Structure formats: C-alpha cells, structure tokens
Structure 1
C-alpha cells in the first residue's frame, strides 16, 4: 500500500483564509456591520453627532455576535460624549499619531513610491466595480475601504481589508495601548476577518518596533507620533464624512 501523500500546507492555509459562502441574510448583516464601522470611524462632525441615537438603535438591533458586542461598547461611550470632546479625541487619535492613522497603505509601504502605486491600484479597483467614493478622502482611508466592502460584497469588497490585515492589527494595538474607545470599532472589524497567521503577528510586531518603510520622496506623511520626530508634520484638516444614505431605524431587535 503506497503511503498517503503529505498535505499541501500552503493550500490548507489558503483554504482556511478563503472567504466562506454566506446566505443572503448573513451577507446583509455583514454589510450592515461594515457600514456601521465605516460611519463610526469617520470624523464626528455635527451630522454624525446628530445621528448617534439612530446609530445606537441600529447597533442594539444587531444579531448577537462578537462584532455587535464591540460596537455596542463603543456606541455607549460615543453617545455619552459632548460633540467637541468627540472631535478632539478623534483628531488626537487618528490625525496626530502615525501608529493609529487610518490610511492603510501607509503601514504596508510607508512614505515611498510604492504607496502611490498602491493608491492608484485601489482607486482602479473601485472604478472597476462601478463605484466612486465621495467625500474627498484618499482611497485607502479606512472608512472609504469599509464602505466599499459593504457595498461590493464579501469576496470582492473585503479583499482590500484582507490585504491590509497587518495594518489593521497595528491600529487596533495602538488604540488599545492608548485606551481609546475606538479600539472597539477595530475589534468589531477584525472579528469579521480571518484570524491572523503567525507570520501576520510577527510582521505586526516588527512594524510596531521599526515602523513602515521610509523614503525621502513620495507622499507626505499622514500623521505624526511614534514613527516620526514630534513637530515634523502638520496634520491636514479632516475631510467631511463619506456621503452615505441615512440609516433607517430598525423595527426592533431580531
């Protein structure tokens, strides 16, 4: 009897990380979770602050899941804050700290020429799917990436999130270290993605210690903080939130 061939571990790992097929109901719930993450990670201007009761009601009506629990923890804090305090916390968290910047290609390519190419590829992916982002943000801004994921579907739409899994892990670690309630939104998102591999975790640890690749030419940085000397960067004014249709309050918990 011939010996059984050894399993192809590369294929096994790929199969474990491949998106599973979803029922229409699961796909709808997943899209809502992604859309909520997108909204909650946008700059908390007056419009978003006014929508807090609807957002909270929508989160309360979600089907039970780890992601829903994390979003409930965040909205409990989000709803209780004064608008100006929300704005200050957002700027301090995402605009003044590179380690928790929401521009995903920065973690993979740093301030190098390759980042410009990655931004172009991401914009082309959006156009190929028939989608154009509104709001004036770069295509790698996490709320924009999440909106695309919610609209384009599980396999195609979430591909950029899976590609930038390591950057998302680093953002979540930075938010946890800073004790920012926004850590709950990142935890809700990461709970939807395949679990990180050992290689992912090792790369995140190296990135946290050394920072992204650096180059003297290319795009200006998108934040100061741990990866750069203080005072070397003036953050841009936050762009207005990505335009999205208003959420309709659900009829009640399911």
Structure 2
C-alpha cells in the first residue's frame, strides 16, 4: 500500500474495514521512505486508531470533519465556497478522472480529499506531487486547524504537504487558525442553518436536506472504468 493510499484510508471515515486490515495498515505506516520521526509517528497514529473502539473513532471523526466547514475535506469548499465556479471545477475534476480510466458513482463528490488521494496513489509520482502542491495551502491550513483542536489527524495533513515538497509554516498557520472563530460549536451550527434556510424563500427546507452523517466517497469506492 502506497503512502498516499494509506493517508487516504486514514483520513476517511473509519469504517469497520480499518480494524479488519490492521496489520496491513501498520505495515504500510512503517514506510522506510519517511524520515524516522515521521515514520514512528505514523505507526503510532495507526496503532492508536486500532486500539480505539470503532464507535468512538467514528464519533470523533464526525465531530472533527462533519461539523462546520473549516475542516471540510471537500477541497472546493475552501476554494470556491458556494459559487458557480465550484460546479465547473467538479466537472473538470471528474473529466480528469475519466481521462485516466476511473469512474465515480453518482453520489460521489470528486473533490473529497481521501478519494483524490486514492486516485493520485495510482498516478505517476511526479504528477501526484504536482496535484498535491496545488492544494497544499488548503491541506496546510487543515493541518493547522486540526492541531489547534488537538487532533492527531494533523500529522496526516502535514505528511501530505511534505510529500508535495511544500513548505509548511505551521507556526504561522496555527496562529491564523487560533484567531478564526470556531464553526463547529452548537451555536455556530445553529446560526449556519438559520442563514442557509433563508435561501429557500417562502418554502421551508425539505426534510431530506437535513444532514444524515458522512455522504462522501471513500477511497475504496473509486473503480477502474470497464469498457
């Protein structure tokens, strides 16, 4: 298992398969290509995850990545927000996947970081580094925000920036993150729902608009296209 695929699996919602393939994940984390301190830290991250009850790990993931937008792993959320440009960027990314023989299921969002990492893990290293270099400013800020919240996931984002050979000014990013208002509190989430409800005009939002847990694609869902 390559480093990018491993990081995609570890950043994704922790499904039961994580614990079923623990030995494989530990072996992949013990990557001789990493500097020894990073190698030890990654092995420790995986071991800590495997030692955690799945329900506890899943709840922790939801609390970090599924509440508020600042920790969203939908990359275009950070670049385009709700603008029309986001839709075109999605189309362009899907076309890039298809060009190299990959298809996504209808419900999958192509800019979901773990899914992108699955794709890049199967591309030439230089190409993967170039892709990551272009989003390293987002990934670096996610690293800083995760560290500010005391999450061990900060390590995974930092490794991605380093893999892209980017310069991670963690101190400056941590200061920026510390000054940002938190958007994962109950008050912030309530305010966001109230703000977005206005977009429906005189009609109340359909009950299907309520969140139902993680709806993102997972790395294992990306499949090679069949002729």
What is the TM-score of this pair, normalised by structure 1?
A: 0.67
Please say if 1:56 is aligned against 2:42.
Answer: no
Q: Hey, what does 2:225 align to over in structure 1?
A: none
Matches of 1:134 and 1:55, distance apart in 2: 26
Aligned residues: 200
Report the 3-state secondary structure (helix = DSSP H, G, I; strand = E; otherwise coil) of the residue aligned with 1:72: helix
- In structure 1, the gaps of 5 or more residues are 1-30, 212-223, 246-254
Q: After superposition, what is the alpha-carbon deviation per residue over 1:105-152, rounded to whole angstroms, capped at 9, x for unaligned?
A: 111111211111111111111111222245943111000110111111
Q: Hey, what does 1:33 align to over in structure 2?
A: 3
Which aligned runs of 4 or more in structure 1 are off by greater than 6 angstroms?
201-211
Contact (CA 8 Å) 1:104, 1:141: kept in 2 or not? yes
Q: Hey, what does 2:93 align to over in structure 1?
A: 122
Please say if 1:183 is aligned against 2:159.
Answer: no
- In structure 2, the gaps of 5 or more residues are 194-209, 223-227
Q: Hey, what does 1:100 align to over in structure 2?
A: 71
**Structure with more of its chain in helix, by fraction:** 2
Structure with larger Rg: 1
Aligned counterpart in structure 2 of residue 243 of structure 1, from 207, 214, 220: 220
Contact (CA 8 Å) 2:121, 2:128: kept in 1 or not? yes
The verdict on how the C-alpha distance between 1:134 and 1:75 changes in structure 2, with shifts beyond 3 A counting, is farther
Q: Hey, what does 1:164 align to over in structure 2?
A: 135
Please say if 1:230 is aligned against 2:189.
Answer: yes
1:194, distance to aligned residue in structure 2 (A): 2.2
Matches of 2:4 and 2:11, distance apart in 1: 11
Matches of 1:41 and 1:185, distance apart in 2: 7
Contact (CA 8 Å) 1:104, 1:140: kept in 2 or not? yes
Matches of 1:104 and 1:33, distance apart in 2: 20
Computed over aligned residues only, the root mean square deviation of the Cα atoms, in angstroms, reads 3.1
More relative contact order in 1 or in 2 (CA 8 Å, sep 6+)?
A: 1
Contact (CA 8 Å) 1:37, 1:143: kept in 2 or not? yes
